[in-house]
Amino acid sequence: MKKKVWWGMCLVATLGFASCSDADKEETGAARLEVRMTDAPGDYDEVNVDIRSVQIHREANDNGSGWTTLETIHPGVYNLLDFANGRDTLLASANLPAGRISQIRLILGENNTLKLKGDPTRRPLTTPSGQTSGIKLQINADLQPDVTYALLLDFDAAKSVVSRGNSGAYNLKPVIRTLTQALAGGIRGTVTPAAAKPGILVISAANDTIGGFADDAGKFLIKGVPAGTYKVQFSTSAPYVNKEVTNVVVTNDRITEIPAVTLN
């Protein structure tokens, strides 16, 4: 009954980034990677890129193996100019083993087109290698366990579109800058006795809340916590008592460990 009540609290919460999850169901030790796309403005009405798949390489040298296709992909035709001036969109995401990632590969489809200023016609953009071996970019970033990262692909639309002489045809030769940034850390700890199985709320100064639970061993890990200072509330039922830990500082690039919390 306690967990049903707790989930009810989560569902009715009106706080900014409220979420709830069982700590014993979390995939601990893995890093979370989100691949996002943005663009520098170009002098076109549309630059449409057909993205089919996103893959990550984990080895320092690409010998044709070691590629991982990201499990959650949003395939489709993206107009790069929709993501100019600081806007971005989520292309793909996955949980990956912690460690170094060396390259990313974009597999493109055939529906790549260009629309010139003042011209209603969409012209094909030829991508000789994009549909087969894919567009490979260097990353060389180290992912820490349980930390959430964004890999930003910054297209330069103006430099990526190349005219083929006076033929009126165009090639897509993507010029892309990559930036990997830690987005969120987390909070890890242990409660005793484990039988208390408390619900846990991580609350920011603005009352934004992330929730979770301790597992059967009393351990918990709350992931996806942005940098900031939080209070952590532990909610249980008799004969155990509720507790609160204040001034828990989280940084984006690591998991913060708090001292064991006793609920009796």
Considering the domain architecture, whether residues 40 and 87 belong to the same structural domain is answered as yes
What is the model's pLDDT at position 59?
A: 66
Domain residues for 248? 2-28+184-262
For residue 224, give Cα distances in angstroms to 73, 184, 254.
20, 5, 11
Considering the domain architecture, whether residues 170 and 208 belong to the same structural domain is answered as no
Considering the domain architecture, whether residues 34 and 88 belong to the same structural domain is answered as yes
Total tally of structural domains belonging to the chain? 2
Considering the domain architecture, whether residues 139 and 213 belong to the same structural domain is answered as no
DSSP 173-234: ---EEEEEEEEEEEEEEEEESGGG--EEEEEETT--EEEEE--TTSEEEEEEE-SEEEEEEE
* Residues whose CB falls within 8 Å of the CB of residue 21, separated by 6 or more in sequence, listed in order: 211, 212, 213
Considering the domain architecture, whether residues 138 and 219 belong to the same structural domain is answered as no
Question: Closest Cα partner for 213 from 204, 222, 205?
Answer: 222
DSSP state of 12: H
What is the model's pLDDT at position 228?
A: 96
Considering the domain architecture, whether residues 139 and 13 belong to the same structural domain is answered as no
Considering the domain architecture, whether residues 143 and 19 belong to the same structural domain is answered as no
For residue 222, give Cα distances in angstroms to 94, 131, 250.
18, 39, 11
What is the model's pLDDT at position 131?
A: 56
Considering the domain architecture, whether residues 146 and 55 belong to the same structural domain is answered as yes
Considering the domain architecture, whether residues 176 and 189 belong to the same structural domain is answered as no
Alpha-carbon gap, residue 15 to 18, rounded angstroms: 6
SS3 (DSSP) at 24: helix
Domain of 50, CATH number, reads 2.60.40
Q: Look up the pTM and report it.
A: 0.80
Domain boundary among 183, 218, 245: 183
Considering the domain architecture, whether residues 165 and 57 belong to the same structural domain is answered as yes
Considering the domain architecture, whether residues 13 and 99 belong to the same structural domain is answered as no
What is the model's pLDDT at position 26?
A: 46
What is the model's pLDDT at position 13?
A: 37
154, 42 in Cβ contact below 8 A? Answer: no
Considering the domain architecture, whether residues 69 and 13 belong to the same structural domain is answered as no
DSSP state of 61: S
Domain boundary among 183, 202, 237: 183
Place of tokens 């709830």: 20
Domain of 217, CATH number, reads 2.60.40.1120
Domain boundary among 183, 216, 234: 183
pLDDT tens for the chain, 264 residues long, are: 444 334 344 433 333 444 444 433 445 689 999 999 998 877 899 999 999 999 999 865 545 567 899 999 999 999 999 998 889 999 999 999 999 999 999 999 989 999 998 889 999 998 865 556 788 999 999 999 999 999 999 999 889 999 887 778 899 888 999 999 999 999 999 999 999 999 999 999 999 999 999 999 999 999 999 999 999 999 999 999 999 999 999 999 999 999 999 998
51, 109 in Cβ contact below 8 A? Answer: yes
What is the model's pLDDT at position 60?
A: 52
